[in-house]
Amino acid sequence: MSDTAALLTRRRRLLGTQAPLFYEQPLHIVRGEGVWLFDADGRRYLDCYNNVPLVGHCHPEVVAALSQQAATLNVHTRYLHETILDYSERLLATFDPSLSMVLYTCTGSEANDQALRIARHCTGGAGIICTNLTYHGNTTAVDQVSPLFYGKVAPYPEVRAIPFPDSYRPLRGLSGRALAEAYAAEIDRAIESFDTAGIGFAGMIACPIFANEGLPTVPSGYLELALGKVHAAGGLFIADEVQAGFGRCGEMWSHQLHGITPDIVTMGKPMANGYPMAAVVTRAGLMESFRDAVMYFNTFGGNPVACAAADAVLTILERDGLAAHAQRIGDRVRDGFRQLAEHHDLIGDVRGDGLWIGVELVQDRSSREPATSATQRVVEGMKARGILLNRIGEFGNVLKMRPPLPFAEEHAELLLTTMGEVLATL
Q: Encode burial over 93-110: b for 16+ CB neighbours within 10 A, e otherwise.
A: ebbbeebbbbbbbbbbbb
- 4 φψ region: left (φ > 0), alpha (ψ -120 to 50), beta (else): alpha
Which one, 372 or 390, has the nearer CB to a second copy?
390
Amino acid at 79: Y
* Residue placing its CB nearer to a second copy in the complex, 145 or 415: 145
Task: Give the binding range for a second copy (CB under 8 A) out of 297-305, 331-339, 343-351, 408-416.
Answer: 297-305
In 3-state terms, what secondary structure has residue 160?
Answer: strand
For residues 246 and 54, is the Cβ–Cβ distance under 8 A?
A: yes
Q: How far is CA 311 from the centre of its chain?
A: 20
Answer yes or no: are the C-beta atoms of 45 and 39 closer than 8 Å. Answer: yes
Residues numbered 26 to 55 that lie near a second copy (CB under 8 A) are 26-32, 37, 50, 52-53
Nearer to a second copy, 180 or 211 (CB): 211
- Segment near a second copy (CB under 8 A); pick from 87-95, 193-201, 219-227, 337-345: 87-95
Q: Which of residues 57-76 bind a second copy (CB under 8 A)?
A: 57-58, 60, 62-63, 66-67, 70-76
Closest CA to 329 of 244, 245, 211, 408: 408
∠ CA 141-142-146 to the nearest 5 degrees? 125
Q: Which lies closer to a second copy via its Cβ, residue 51 or residue 131?
A: 51
Given a contact cutoff of 8 angstroms between Cβ atoms, the answer to whether 281 and 238 are in contact is: no
Q: How far is the CB of 269 from a second copy (least distance, A)?
A: 6
The piece of 107-115, 226-234, 340-348, 367-375 that touches a second copy (CB under 8 A) is 107-115
Q: What is the DSSP string of 124-139?
A: S--EEEEETT----SS
Options 108, 381, 403, 404; binder of a second copy; rule CB under 8 A: 108
Q: Is 1 in the site for a second copy (CB under 8 A)?
A: no
Among 2, 42, 80, 259, indicate the residue that binds a second copy (CB under 8 A).
Answer: 80
| Residue of 295, 319, 366, 367 interacting with a second copy (CB under 8 A) | 295
To a second copy, the closest distance from the beta carbon of 67 in angstroms equals 4
35, 48, 141, 226: which one contacts a second copy (CB under 8 A)? 141
Per CB under 8 A, the segment of 188-196, 266-274, 350-358, 417-425 that binds a second copy is 266-274
- Does 292 sit near a second copy (CB under 8 A)? yes
Q: By CB under 8 A, is residue 81 in contact with a second copy?
A: yes
Q: Give how far Cα 374 sits from Cα of 231, 291, 334, 425, Å.
A: 43, 50, 20, 10
